[in-house]
Every structure is written in structure tokens, then in C-alpha cells.
Amino acid sequence: MRENLARTLAHADELIISDGGSIDGTREIAARLGARVVTGPAGRGAQLNRGAAATTAELLLFLHADTTLPPGAADAVRAAVARGCCGGGFRLHFEPARPLFRFVATFANLRSRLTRVALGDQAQFATRAAFDQLGGYREWPILEDLDFARRLKRAGRIAILPLAASTSARRFEKRGPLRTVLTNWLIWTLFACGVSPARLARLYRNVR
């Protein structure tokens, strides 16, 4: 945690930590390193919105706690916006870089390139104008990142940057790669068919 925060501070003009009730010392570590901490109820969509509301920055990047930005990330995001993009994300890389995880990441990157949809573990970014136009993230129990990425496509051009953000593969290690991928596909398919995020969240908890 400490190392990731320090690396992120090196990229960012301003770092907001939106905490949803952690008990692992995250808030104290972040404050000591110079980040601003905002707190509130748990829930990723709500936490992301609180973080965005705590800054007046014109360019927003949303980073999960277990995701690390690559060198040159800030310059790549600024360049994409200068080219006229309203948002996007990075390629995906899993740590540890085992062959199976590389295969999963390769498929995810192909999906992102074809659909122009980057999910939360790909460090989504957006201009303030686009974020405000969309009303931010929907405060759903699940799939708030997919929903935001799909709506962001309607706001303007999307950049899937060639740099790769590294995300922990702990979920795949804990639940099994095949089971995790199939669960994700099932949930995305049901969502596309109109099943509500509330029902999908219950399914996710049951399958997990």
C-alpha cells in the first residue's frame, strides 16, 4: 500500500484517497504521504464520486487500491486529452505475471481495443467536463465501472492507452482463474440482457 501510494503521488498533481471504512491503516499512511483523505460509506461508485467531488481538477483518473500506474502514465493521459479524447483507460497487466494471467490479460486487452471500453482495473480516466456531463458513476453495488465506460463512449472519443496498468491477480488466485472469468462473463451477459445490478450483486456473492 505504502509503495503504491508513493508511486501514484509521483504521477499526480493531486491525490485523493476515498476511504470506505478501511481498518488497515490506509487513511493514516495516505495522510502521512501527503494525500488528501475523504471518508464515507463503503461502495465503489459512491467512493469514486466522493473523490471526484473533493477536487476541482479538470482531468480525473480513478485508481483502484490494488492497481499500479506504469511510468509515463500522466503524460500519456494528458496527451490523449490533448488529441481530443474525453477519457479512457490503460491496457491491463496482472501481477504475478504467470502464463495463465497473461492469457487473461491478453483477452481483456483485445476486448478493450475492440469495444473501446476500459474497466476499473484499467485505471479509468475522464475529463471533468465529461464526468460532470455523465453525472459521475452510478452508485450501484456492482458494474459501476462498466456502466461508466459505456456511457463515456457516448460523450466523445475514447483512448485505450498502450501503456499497461498492473493489477493484483489475487481474486483469480483466490477463486480460480477459470471460475473468475466465467463468473464475470455471466454477470456481464445478464447485465446486457437487462438484469439489475442489485440482483447481479447477489449472484456475485453467491457464486463467489
- 118-172 tens-digit pLDDT: 999 999 999 999 999 999 999 999 999 999 999 999 999 999 999 999 999 888 8
With a cut of 60, say whether residue 207 has pLDDT above it: no
pLDDT over 90 percentage in the chain = 66
C-alpha cell recorded at residue 51: 473523490
> Which run of H or E residues covers position 167?
strand 157-168
Q: What is the DSSP string of 90-130?
A: EEEEEES--HHHHHHHHHHHHHHHHH----GGG--EEEHHH
CA distance 102 to 36: 34
Look at 5 and 124; give whichever has higher pLDDT: 124
Q: What is the DSSP string of 64-88?
A: -TTEEPPTTHHHHHHHHHHTTEEEE
Q: Tell me if residue 168 falls in helix, strand or coil.
A: strand
Residue 145 to residues 23, 25, 152: CA-CA distances in angstroms? 24, 26, 10
112 pLDDT tier (thresholds 50, 70, 90): very high
What per-residue confidence (pLDDT) applies to 1?
60
| CB 144 within 8 Å of CB 46 | no
What per-residue confidence (pLDDT) applies to 162?
97
Q: What is the pTM of this model?
A: 0.92
